[in-house]
Chains A and B, each alone.
Chain A
C-alpha cells in the first residue's frame, strides 16, 4: 500500500490572499479520501494543484511517488478528474466527446466508452449534443469521462452536485465498486457530510485554506458515541435523581431542560424513578454522534456544548 499523493507545506497565493496554507495531505493507495470543507475553503484549488492546472506558490506535491513539476504531464495519464463542473465541447455528442478523450489520453479500447456510459446510466443520448443536456446529465457524462480510462487515481470535485437522490445512490455504488473491485484511489470532495460518511475511508477537513484534520473513518466511528437525551422540567433535580437514586455518573447537563446520558440505561427504569421523584418528563430519545457533530465542532473551533 503506497502513498499515492503527498503534499508538504502546500501554499497558494492569489493576488496576495493565501487561499491554501501549509496543507499536508496524504492519500493512500486504494482508499477513498473524503475532502470536507465549506465553500471557499480551498478544496478546488488543492485539486487544481494536484492536476497541474495551477502551480503552487510554495510547497511540494508528490504523486505516485514522483514530484510534480511545472512541466510534468505524463503522470496525468494515470489520473481522471472532474474539477468544479465538467466542461465539454458543447456542439459534439456524448460519444464524440468521450472518443476525443480516448484519443488524447492515448487509450484505445473503444468498448470502454459504451461501458462507462452504461455505468453512469447515460443511455439514449446518441444524437443529442451536450449543449442540450441537463445539469444531471452533464454531471453523469463528466463522471463517465473521468472513469473512462480506469485511471489509478480519480479526483472528483463535488461529483454528486445536481444529481437526484437515485442518482446519488447510483454514484455512491459506482465509487464503491471502483475502489473495492478495481483498486482505484479516489479523492472526493463534498460538503454533503452524510454522503462522505458512507463511502470515505479517510477524511481530510479543510477550512480557510488550512487542513484542520486528517483522520480515518474508523477512528471517528470509535469516537462517536450513542446517547440518550432527556427533556425534563428541571434538569438539576433530574441530575440529582440520576446521581443518587440511579447511580448514573456519565451524563451531561445541556441546559435547564435537557440532559444527555452516555451510559446504557433501561428507559423504563429511568422514567419510573424520575416520576417517583417528581420530575416531569417531556421526552426521551436515542441519538448517535455523527460525522456532522464532529465536523461542526471542528469548524466552529470547538464551541461545543456545555
Chain B
C-alpha cells in the first residue's frame, strides 16, 4: 500500500504543488494583515486577541485548501477515469480496491498535511511577530499552546474528511468542473464566518459531514470492483 501511495505521488508529480502551496500561504498572511489594517482605519478592529486571530487563520486556511484538495481529487482520481489511464491501472496485477484506496489516502493526506502544517506555520509566525510588536492580546503559556495544537489536529482531521466529499460529485460523470464546483460550495458552506461562528464550529455538523466524506470514499472503493471499463 505504501508503495502504491508513493507511485501515485510520483505519477502525478504532487511535489510540484509545493510552490503553489507556499504562495497560497503568503496570500493568507497578506489577507490577514490587510484585514487588520483596514479594520483599524474604521475603528472597528476585526480581531484584537490571539484567539480571534487564530480563528480567522483557521477559516482562511481551510477555505483555501479544501478547494485545493478538490483539484488534487481531479488530478489523482477523476482524470485517470476520464483519460482512461485507469484502464491501464486495472490491467496490473493489483486489487482494484487497493488502487483506489491508495488514491483516497493520498487525497486525505494532502488535505490533512497542507491544512495542519499551514496553520502551525502561520500561527507560529503570528506568535513570533506578536512577541516583537505586541498588537494582540492573549498570554502564550504552555497550556495555551497545547490547547491550540489539539485544536489544529482535530479540526484538520475533520476538514480533511469533509474534503473527500467532492469525490462523489466527480465520480458521477468523471466531470472536472463538477468536482471543483462542489469543492467550492462545500468550502464556502463550512468556512464562512458570521460573527465568529462558522458551520464547522458546530461539533455535530462536522461529525456528520466527515462521515459523509468517509462514506462517499468507501462507496467509491467498493463500487469500483465491478465497474465495466469501456
Residues of A participating in the B interface, judged by any CB pair closer than 8 Å = 14, 48, 51-55, 70-71, 73-77, 79, 81, 83, 87-92, 100, 103-106
B198-230 with Cβ < 8 A to chain A = 225-226, 228-230
| Tally of B interface residues using CB under 8 Å | 23
- A52-B90, A73-B94, A92-B11 are known; give 20 further A-B pairs, CB within 8 A: A14-B230, A48-B229, A48-B230, A52-B91, A53-B90, A53-B230, A70-B225, A73-B95, A73-B96, A76-B92, A77-B93, A87-B84, A87-B85, A89-B85, A91-B13, A100-B7, A100-B10, A104-B7, A104-B89, A104-B92
Within 8 Å CB of A79, what residues of B? 91
Measured between C-beta atoms, what is the minimum distance from B11 to chain A in Å? 6
A87 touches B88 (CB 8 A): yes
B83 within 8 A of A: yes
B131 within 8 A of A: no
B39 within 8 A of A: no
B49 within 8 A of A: no
Q: Name the 10 nearest CB pairs between A and B, nearest first.
A: A77-B93, A104-B92, A53-B229, A54-B228, A76-B93, A87-B84, A73-B93, A51-B91, A87-B85, A74-B93
Q: A71 CA to B95 CA in the complex, in Å?
A: 7
Between A and B, 21 residue pairs with Cβ closer than 8 Å are A51-B91, A52-B91, A54-B230, A55-B228, A70-B226, A71-B225, A73-B93, A74-B93, A75-B93, A76-B92, A76-B93, A79-B91, A83-B87, A87-B88, A88-B88, A89-B85, A100-B7, A103-B7, A104-B92, A105-B92, A105-B93
Nearest B residue to A104 via CB reads B92
Measured between C-beta atoms, what is the minimum distance from B112 to chain A in Å? 25
Q: A89 CA to B13 CA in the complex, in Å?
A: 11
Secondary structure dominating the interface of A: loop
Q: A90 CA to B89 CA in the complex, in Å?
A: 15
Within 8 Å CB of B88, what residues of A? 87-88
Q: Interface centre among A51, A54, A73, A83, by most B CB within 10 Å?
A: A73
Within 8 Å CB of A90, what residues of B? 83
A87-B87 contact given A53-B229, A73-B94, A104-B7, CB 8 Å threshold = yes
Measured between C-beta atoms, what is the minimum distance from B1 to chain A in Å? 14
CB-contact partner of B91 in A76, A89, A106, under 8 A: A76
Q: A74 CA to B92 CA in the complex, in Å?
A: 8
Within 8 Å CB of B228, what residues of A? 53-55
Within 8 Å CB of A105, what residues of B? 92-93
B58-103 with Cβ < 8 A to chain A = 83-85, 87-96
Within 8 Å CB of A83, what residues of B? 87, 91
B226 touches A106 (CB 8 A): no
Nearest B residue to A88 via CB reads B85
Within 8 Å CB of B230, what residues of A? 14, 48, 53-54
Q: Interface centre among A55, A90, A103, A106, by most B CB within 10 Å?
A: A103
Within 8 Å CB of A53, what residues of B? 87, 90-91, 228-230
Measured between C-beta atoms, what is the minimum distance from B204 to chain A in Å? 38
Nearest A residue to B229 via CB reads A53
Within 8 Å CB of A91, what residues of B? 13
CB-contact partner of A87 in B83, B96, B225, under 8 A: B83
Nearest B residue to A83 via CB reads B87
Nearest B residue to A91 via CB reads B13
B29-59 with Cβ < 8 A to chain A = none
Measured between C-beta atoms, what is the minimum distance from B20 to chain A in Å? 16
CB-contact partner of B93 in A70, A88, A106, under 8 A: A106
